[in-house]
Amino acid sequence: MTGSPATSSGRLQRLLALVPYVMSRKVVGLADTAAAFGVTERELVDDLNLLWCVELRSPDPYCPIDLSYEGGEIEVSQAEQMDRPLRLAVDEASALLVALRMLAEVGAGDEGSALSRTIAKLEAAAGEAGAVSSQVAVQVDKIAEQAVLTQLQDALARRRVVHLSYYVPGRDETTERDVDPMRLLVVDGRTYLEGWCRSAEAVRLFRLDRVLGLQVRDLAADVPAEAEPKDVDEGLYRPSPDDLRVEIELAPLGRWVAEYYPCESVDELGDGRLRVRLRTPDSRWVRRLALRLGENGRITRPADLAAQVRSDAAAALAQYD
């Protein structure tokens, strides 16, 4: 794996990129450059000093790199053969090409074919390093609700409130709500709307395949200042302290639960059995999960939830009498 600029050999990579970065822009500010490289100004100055100090002693001693950063402006006056960045490594070319092709599949941001142009240019620049990227592919769920997506993009562009009829599987109910749209996300193959839910008075993610109806209202969207977009990189689901903690024991045929839902802990119990602990804001969801698992899963904690599952099962069985 190619290290990120934060790892040990990362500094050398950064130094090799720094000189061409400055040269391609003639003159750049210290602050801007530090921001672009994700380092502090102090670290950047240390990098520049290091570059300036490079010397070769033979056949005649000389310093190949000459630069200055007086008055907060960096300028490189001499750089020998260091004036261009190193070509892309296989990992680097693949990371971008796979991501670009995924974007193309989502249909994101391809107004005026910017994506296909970028992919072609990057493939050309990467050369051989780009070839392996075809062995990694990301297939995104086709959004059946193309009409919903188009309406949402329109609402985002015009900053309009949307009214959603939204299905909540845990309750097996359709809910009605007004949402101030913030952005569209594709996480792990599923498309979501992130927005300020006026009924919950909180930021919520809505899976597009659960939107049963949508109207763009003639009402200006007004996302409150306190509405923070979720840091989806930390995972879509983050438990709150109020959430119910549930412990389930799973038979081998119930192991899929650990793959499908984020668990706080997963312990092997032998013979393929698992104990998982998860947190949920909605106990109804867990009760349904227990019915679906049948004999392949058993809620061991809390006890009252286990009792509720038994009464749910009894109520459902009564329909068959």
Partner 1 sequence: MSRRKTERLLGLVVCLLSSERYLTALQIRAAVPGYPESFEAFKRMFERDKEELRELGIPLETGSNSAADEELGYRIPRQAYVLPEIRLEPDEAAVLSLAARVWRQAELAGAAAGALLKLRAAGVDAEETRQPGIEPRLAGEAAFGPLWEAVRDRRPVTFAYRAAGRSEPQQRRLEPWGVVNRHGRWYVAGHDTDRDAVRVFRLSRIMGAVRFTGPAGSVTVPDGTDVRETVREWDTDPPPQQTAVLRVRQGAGHGIRRYARSVQPAGDGWDLVDARYSDVGWFAEYLAWFGPAVVAVEPADLREAVIRQLKGALA
Site for partner 1 in 220-249 (CB under 8 A): 232-233
Bridge partners, residue 250, by sequence: 274, 297
Interaction between residue 3 and partner 1 (CB under 8 A): yes
Between 135 and 240, CB nearer to partner 1: 135
- Residue span binding partner 1 (CB under 8 A) among the ranges 70-78, 219-227, 238-246, 291-299: 291-299
* Structure tokens, 321: 């009498």
Q: Restricting to residues 151-210, which ones interact with partner 1 according to CB under 8 A?
A: 153, 156-157, 167, 169, 172-174, 183-191
- Residue span binding partner 1 (CB under 8 A) among the ranges 67-75, 117-125, 198-206, 237-245: 117-125
Q: Which residue has the tokens 């300036």?
A: 52
Q: Restricting to residues 69-98, which ones interact with partner 1 according to CB under 8 A?
A: 80-82, 84-96, 98
Three-state SS sequence of 174-232: EEEEEEEEEEEEEECCEEEEEEEECCCCEEEEEEHHHEEEEEEEEEECCCCCCCCCCCH
Interaction between residue 304 and partner 1 (CB under 8 A): no
Q: How far is the CB of 53 from partner 1 (least distance, A)?
A: 7
Which of residues 70, 111, 228, 242 is near partner 1 by CB under 8 A?
Answer: 111
Helix axes 41-53, 30-37, angle to 10 degrees: 100
| CA distances (Å), origin 12, targets 2, 6, 19, 29, 91 | 12, 11, 12, 21, 17
Interaction between residue 45 and partner 1 (CB under 8 A): no
Other C-beta atoms lying within 10 Å of the C-beta of residue 6: 10
Which of residues 30, 34, 36, 223 is near partner 1 by CB under 8 A?
Answer: 36
Between 122 and 227, CB nearer to partner 1: 122
Where does residue 113 fall: left (phi above 0), alpha (psi -120 to 50 degrees), or beta otherwise? left
